[in-house]
Structure 1
Amino acid sequence: MSEEKLYAVKNDEGKYWEFFDNSGFWALDISDSPITPSKDQAEQVADEQGGHVVTLVEEPEKVVITKEQAGIVEEARVSGIPATHISGHTDAYNGEERLLINAYVNGYTMAKEKKYNVKVPHTKEVWYYKSGDTDLLTIFPADKELRGTFTESEIEHYGLQDCEKEEVTDDDD
C-alpha cells in the first residue's frame, strides 16, 4: 500500500472544494479536481473557506486464505474478543496469526483449491471421475479433461490417496 495520500475539503452541505480553478464548493460528480496531494493546501482552504479536510486512503488488498482459515476469521467476527479468538485458533510461529488478523481487518478472498485427475490403480490408462456428489466412474485419458476433478479433501474422502494424480491448472479448466 502506498504511503502517499490525497486530500479533499468537504463542507457541511456535502460539497467538495474545486482545487483546479478554486471556484468554490461543488457536488462531487461535477467537480473537475476535488483533490490535492498537499495536506497544507487542503488545511489552508478549510481554514479560509470553511469545511474540513478529508483524507483519501487506498483500500488495502484483501488477504488470500484457505476455507478453514476463513472459518476462523468469521468465528472471530462474532467473538467478544476477535484477536484472542484468532490467536487461540492459529499458530503464531508460522505467521498464520498475523495473516488472519490482516484478513479480519482488511477483508479476504479464499484460495482456490487445487484439483486433480486421479488414475485408477492396477488398470491401464483409466481415470476416475465423479458422477454427482457420490458416484465414481472411470474413463480413458482422452476424455479426462471433460470430467469432474477432485480436491485434496475429496481424494481423501474416496480413499484415493495412493492413486497417481495429475494436477489440473487453471489453463486446463
Structure 2
Amino acid sequence: MSEEKMYAVKNDEGKYWDFLDGTGFWILHISERPTTTSKEKAELVADNYGGHIVALIEEPEKVVLSKEQAEIVEDAHNAKRPASYIILKSNDEELLMNAYVNGFTVAKEKKYNVKVPHTKEAWYYKSGDTDLLTICPADKELRGTFTKAEIEHYGLQDCEKEEVTEDAD
C-alpha cells in the first residue's frame, strides 16, 4: 500500500474544489481534478475558500484465508469479545484480526487428478459424493478432481497426483 495520500476539499453543499483550474467548487463528476497530493495546498484552499479537507486513503487489501480460518473470523463477528474469540480458536491471531478488520477472501482449495495405484493407464474420478471410478488418462480432465481433504478421506495419499490448474476448471 502506498504511503502517499490524496486530499480533497469539500464544502458544506457537498461540492469539491477543482485543483486543475482553481475556479471553484463543483459536483464530483464535473470536477476535472478534485484531489491533490499536497496537504498544504488543500489547507490553503480550505482556509481561503471554505470547506474542509478530506484525506483519501487506499482501501487495505483483503486477507486470503483458508475455509477454516474464514469460519473463525465470521464467528468472531457474532462474539461478545471478537479478539478473545480469535485468540481462543487460532494461533494465527495477527492474520485473523487483520482479516476481521480489513475483510478477507477464501483461498481456492487446490484440486488434483489422482492416479490409480499399480496401473499405468487409469486415474480415479468421483462419481457423486461417495463412489470412486477409474478412467483412462485421455478423459481425466473431464472428470471430478479431488481436494487434499478428499484425497485423505479416500485413502489416496500414496497415489501419484497431478495438480489441476485454474484454467483446467
- Matched with 2:32 is 32
- Mapped partners of 1:35, 1:168: distance in 2: 45
5 Å-filtered alignment, 1:67-82, equals 67-82=67-82
- Matched with 2:103 is 107
- Mapped partners of 2:88, 2:51: distance in 1: 45
Greater alpha carbon shift after TM alignment, 11-20 vs 121-130: 121-130
Q: Secondary structure at the match of 1:116?
A: strand
Q: Secondary structure at the match of 1:136?
A: strand
**1:166 corresponds to 2:162:** yes
Q: Secondary structure at the match of 1:29?
A: coil
In the alignment, residue 162 of structure 2 is paired with which amino acid?
A: E
In the alignment, residue 21 of structure 2 is paired with which amino acid?
A: D
In the alignment, residue 50 of structure 1 is paired with which amino acid?
A: G
Instruction: After the TM superposition, list the runs of 4 or more consecutive aligned residues in structure 1 that deviate by more than 4 angstroms.
Output: none
Q: Percent identity?
A: 73
Q: Could you report, residue by residue, the CA deviation over 1:54-76 in whole angstroms, capped at 9, with x for unpaired residues?
A: 00001111111100000011011
1:149 to 142, 145, 151: 145
- Mapped partners of 1:171, 1:107: distance in 2: 27
Structure 1, gaps ≥5 residues long: none
- Mapped partners of 1:124, 1:32: distance in 2: 66
| TM-score between both structures, scaled by the size of structure 1 | 0.91
Greater alpha carbon shift after TM alignment, 59-68 vs 79-88: 79-88
Structure 2, gaps ≥5 residues long: none
In the alignment, residue 155 of structure 2 is paired with which amino acid?
A: G
Q: Could you report, residue by residue, the CA deviation over 1:38-83 in whole angstroms, capped at 9, with x for unpaired residues?
A: 1111112112211110000011111111000000110111112211
Greater alpha carbon shift after TM alignment, 44-53 vs 121-130: 121-130
In the alignment, residue 151 of structure 1 is paired with which amino acid?
A: T
**1:118 corresponds to 2:114:** yes
Give the superposition deviation at 1:97.
1.6
| TM-score between both structures, scaled by the size of structure 2 | 0.93
Greater alpha carbon shift after TM alignment, 25-34 vs 128-137: 128-137
Give the superposition deviation at 1:12.
1.2
- Mapped partners of 2:26, 2:161: distance in 1: 62
- Matched with 1:3 is 3
**1:130 corresponds to 2:130:** no
